[in-house]
Amino acid sequence: MRSPSVPVPPERLTRPSAPRSLVLGEYRLTHIPDGLVQLRPAGWFPGLGTDALLGHEDHLDPDGCLVAGIGGLLVEYRNRALLIDTGYGPRRLTASQTHPALGVLEGGGLAAALAEAGRDPASIDTVAFTHLHDDHVGWALCAGSEGPFFARASFVLADTEWRTSGRSTLPAPLHSRVTPASDGDEIFPGVTLREAPGHTGGHARYVLDFGGAGAAPGTDGGGQGAPAGTAPGRGRLLVAGDVLHSPLQVAHPEWDVFFDADRESALRSRTVFLEDASAPDTLCYAGHFADVVFGRVRKDGEGHTWTPLH
């Protein structure tokens, strides 16, 4: 049985997203894939009732796992470029090497995907992290003989995340490039950091306001022949980060996540996000949502549903 909230070909629920682009006013947004991680539902959502996934089988891959894509969101505006999260990096762990709540965890595609998008990593002026877990900071830790992969970007993250785990996660040579930000700070033209604690103590989400007179709507469905979606010429796009990991959580924010550091705060952040996301003229980007990363949250009675955009 198909989940009514996700009316797309079923294969898109069990594969990581291809590169997908969206033009919103003066902004071009591109999902830059890096890899994937398999989430074992019973481990990822501890306390899940035995019947909870009935009717959601279309979200499970042949191993019985949810498939979370890993990657980043490239935001290009005039002569500026922002990348929100940097994937896992060029490495792979088998299921037996990860964690009982996980299966395979692999990255490595981001460099080629950036090149395909016509973007040299040295031309990215701002890298913003939602938080500092491995699958979000991967390429920021990479360096070759010519220096760090992101040769000149400043690194933005929530002040709390920087204070609690920044120095131990990011290599010392990058510390002088870190720009901690607080709730409501504009970190790139039109992009604001919002604190969304729970998954980590200093987890952030981001809000892109692409409003403004004369904004020209347009879309560009990328990857695997996907049809273009439709988008308004003005409004907001919310970047969820790890407030949400699966489209199933849009209807079930009450499901606890094993890796959330503070489950009460995480539930509050999911609730706030879904409420904000269901406002008019609001689109969302949820980088872990298999191949349905761009979408809208709609109110449905007491709950919410996810409608992919492309």
Q: Which residues in this chain contact Zn ion in the complex, by CB under 5 A?
A: 135, 242
Q: At 235, list the tokens.
A: 């409004």
The Cα 273–Cα 285 span in angstroms is 12
Q: How far is the CB of 242 from Zn ion (least distance, A)?
A: 4
Q: How far is the CB of 109 from Zn ion (least distance, A)?
A: 16
Q: How far is the CB of 107 from Zn ion (least distance, A)?
A: 11
> Which CB sits closer to Zn ion, 135 or 291?
135
Q: How far is the CB of 136 from Zn ion (least distance, A)?
A: 6
Give the 3-state secondary structure of residue 154: strand
Q: How far is the CB of 260 from Zn ion (least distance, A)?
A: 11
* Partners of 144 in beta bridges: 147
The Cα 65–Cα 130 span in angstroms is 24
> Which CB sits closer to Zn ion, 85 or 159?
85
Give the 3-state secondary structure of residue 123: helix
Q: How far is the CB of 156 from Zn ion (least distance, A)?
A: 17
Starting at the earlier edge strand, list the strands of the sheet with 186-188.
Answer: 186-188, 191-195, 204-209, 236-239, 282-285, 294-300, 303-308
Q: How far is the CB of 50 from Zn ion (least distance, A)?
A: 26
Q: How far is the CB of 71 from Zn ion (least distance, A)?
A: 10
DSSP 20-36: EEEEETTEEEEEEEEEE
* Nearest-10 Cα torsion for 269, 190, 159, 297: 10
> Which CB sits closer to Zn ion, 97 or 147?
97
> Which CB sits closer to Zn ion, 81 or 137?
137
Does residue 17 contact residue 208 with C-beta atoms inside 8 Å? no
> Which CB sits closer to Zn ion, 68 or 113?
68
> Which CB sits closer to Zn ion, 72 or 295?
72
The pair phi, psi for residue 242, each rounded to 5°, is -95, 25
DSSP 241-282: GGG-SSTHHHH-TTS--TT-SSHHHHHHHHHHHHHHHTSTTE
Q: At 195, list the tokens.
A: 């604190």
The Cα 22–Cα 228 span in angstroms is 8
> Which CB sits closer to Zn ion, 87 or 190?
87
> Which CB sits closer to Zn ion, 77 or 285?
285
